[in-house]
């Protein structure tokens, strides 16, 4: 389909980024899967080419590009089914907190490294007893002289082992009422005494994405590492960035639909049963038509949201709709497409097998489908 939201410059950028991925990422995907982690070198290589968070302002080491360049990267990474290299989590979800809420000193200190690949970021919100309900956080960051002393445990943290800098959601005022007014975002740097990367977690999918459990024990952080002008702004800061986080998920889900459908169409054209290609069976064609139609519908809605987001329009409700609906539909499409591959679809040598494992989590992370529906309902006055 023709995508009117992209200019010729975006298309040139897409071609360059696609070639970069084919050269620097695709040949190593199996190796990374077996290792259970991507090497730091790929971050440096990507940064040297200017492909990390291209929106970062030039004065902080970025290209100062619009978010559509980021969207191009999200789509191209989904096209090759790369879920271990968390480039977009770092560049489009985590680093924006530093740019939006960091003071000038913090931005000069951290953003250049975030753009170059020298600093890999993580955001630590989820705890063993606090997932979608952030107001149930138990991690504390209590003021002590010129420092915050952080104590607590975080789990399911992407880039958990690789991160050089972790944005931690913690209670700076555990007695605050309403409770969310006591939450702040504290930046903890790797190597800080008391900051422990306890273990890398074993997962169903996304096997090369390092997801870890983190522990903070009397972790003393300089008071200058508070994000924002004052304490108690953490919950609001997180909420203000959810629109882009959900849009990132939505873009990736639609791009994954197209990738999976293209693999399946090619397979059904080449694979025969009862003397004819699978694509010649009416059931196969009709199912494929239904799925391509769904992908077109989702893409149209996605492009509308992209355009509005870049224009600065508030589309929190709509991006929540897109996040829940696209991830659920992508999950259905992958399941149906694996069925067309038959036994081969269950073999790791086929990308559809990896996609089946990896895409399952998309209806869970960044807010479950159920939480998205709760948010949408409230925003609609229900």
Q: 8-119, what's its fold?
A: Butyryl-Coa Dehydrogenase, subunit A; domain 1 (1.10.540)
Pick the catalytic residue from 76, 245, 318, 329: 245
Domain ranges of the chain: 8-119, 122-232, 241-379
Q: Does the pLDDT at position 74 exceed 90?
A: yes
Confidence band (pLDDT; 50, 70, 90) for 1?
A: low
CATH superfamily of 122-232: Butyryl-CoA Dehydrogenase, subunit A, domain 2 (2.40.110.10)
338-372 pLDDT per residue, tens: 999 999 999 998 999 999 999 999 999 999 999 99
Query: Per CATH, which fold does 241-379 belong to?
Result: Butyryl-CoA Dehydrogenase, subunit A; domain 3 (1.20.140)
Residue with tokens 């939006």: 100
| pLDDT in the model for residue 131 | 77
Q: From 252, 289, 284, 250, select the one nearest 268 (Cα to Cα).
A: 284
What are residue 129's DSSP bridge partners? none
Question: Coil, strand or helix: which one is 289?
Answer: helix
pLDDT in tens, 169-226: 999 999 999 999 999 999 999 999 999 999 999 999 999 999 999 999 999 999 999 9
From residue 48, how far is each of 13, 32, 61, 94 by CA, in Å?
15, 21, 11, 20
* Predicted confidence band of residue 135 (pLDDT cuts 50, 70, 90): confident
Question: Tokens 């991160």 — which residue?
Answer: 163
Q: Output the average pLDDT for the chain.
A: 96
**β-strands 165-171, 121-124 pairing:** parallel
Q: Which H or E element spans position 121? A: strand 121-124
Beta-bridged to residue 152, according to DSSP, are 216
- pLDDT score recorded for residue 2: 72
Number of helices (H) and strands (E), helices first, in the chain?
Answer: 13, 9
Residues recorded for the chain: 382
Verify whether residue 308 is a known catalytic residue. no
End-to-end CA distance of the chain: 36
Q: What is the mean pLDDT of residues 274-278?
A: 96
pLDDT at 136: 86
Q: Say if CB 218 and CB 152 are below 8 A apart.
A: no
- pTM of structure: 0.96
User: How much of the chain is helix, strand and coil, in % rounded to 5?
Assistant: 55, 15, 30
Which pLDDT value is given to residue 132?
77
Q: Does the pLDDT value for residue 134 go beyond 90?
A: no
Q: At 219, is the secondary structure helix, strand, or coil?
A: strand
Rounded mean pLDDT, 259-276: 97
Q: What is the pLDDT of residue 321?
A: 98
**What φ, ψ does residue 366 adopt, rounded to 5°?**
60, 25
What is the C-alpha to C-alpha distance for residues 210 and 247, in angstroms, rounded to an integer? 23
For 10-45, how does the pLDDT look when each residue is reduced to its tens digit (9 = 90+)? 999 999 999 999 999 999 999 999 999 999 999 999
> Over the Cα atoms of the chain, what is R_g?
21
Strands 195-200 and 147-158: unpaired
């Amino acid at each position: 389909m023709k995508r009117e939201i992209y200019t010729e410059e975006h298309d040139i950028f897409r071609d360059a980024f696609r070639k970069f991925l084919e050269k620097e990422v695709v040949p190593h995907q199996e190796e990374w899967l077996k290792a259970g982690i991507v090497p730091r070198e790929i971050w440096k290589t990507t940064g040297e080419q200017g492909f990390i968070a291209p929106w970062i302002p030039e004065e902080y080491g970025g290209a100062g590009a619009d978010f559509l360049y980021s969207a191009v990267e999200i789509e191209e990474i989904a096209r090759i089914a790369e879920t271990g290299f968390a480039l977009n989590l770092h560049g489009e979800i985590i680093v924006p907190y530093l740019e939006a809420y960091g003071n000038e000193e913090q931005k000069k200190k951290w953003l250049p490294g975030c753009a170059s690949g020298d600093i890999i970021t993580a955001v630590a919100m989820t705890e063993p007893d606090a997932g979608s309900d952030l107001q149930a956080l138990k991690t504390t960051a209590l003021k002590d002289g010129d420092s915050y002393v952080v104590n607590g445990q975080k789990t399911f943290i992407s880039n958990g082992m690789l991160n050089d800098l972790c944005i931690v959601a913690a209670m700076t005022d555990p007695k605050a009422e309403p409770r969310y007014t006591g939450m702040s975002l504290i930046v903890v740097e790797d190597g800080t005494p008391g900051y422990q990367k306890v273990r890398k977690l074993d997962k169903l999918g996304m096997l090369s994405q390092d997801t870890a459990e983190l522990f903070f024990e009397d972790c003393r952080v300089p008071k200058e590492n508070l994000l924002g002008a004052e304490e108690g702004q953490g919950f609001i800061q997180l909420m203000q960035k959810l629109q882009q986080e959900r849009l990132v998920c939505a873009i990736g889900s639609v791009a994954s639909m197209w990738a999976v459908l293209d693999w399946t169409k090619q397979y059904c054209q080449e694979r025969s049963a009862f003397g004819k290609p699978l694509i010649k069976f009416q059931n196969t064609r009709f199912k494929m038509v239904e799925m391509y139609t769904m992908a077109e519908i989702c893409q149209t809605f996605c492009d509308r949201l992209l355009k509005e987001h870049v224009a600065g329009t508030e589309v929190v409700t709509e991006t929540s709709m897109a996040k829940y609906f696209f991830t659920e539909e992508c999950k259905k499409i992958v399941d149906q497409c694996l069925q067309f591959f038959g036994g081969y679809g269950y073999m790791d040598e086929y990308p559809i097998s990896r996609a089946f494992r990896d895409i399952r989590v998309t209806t869970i992370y960044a807010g479950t489908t159920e939480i998205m529906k709760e948010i949408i309902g409230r925003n609609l006055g229900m």
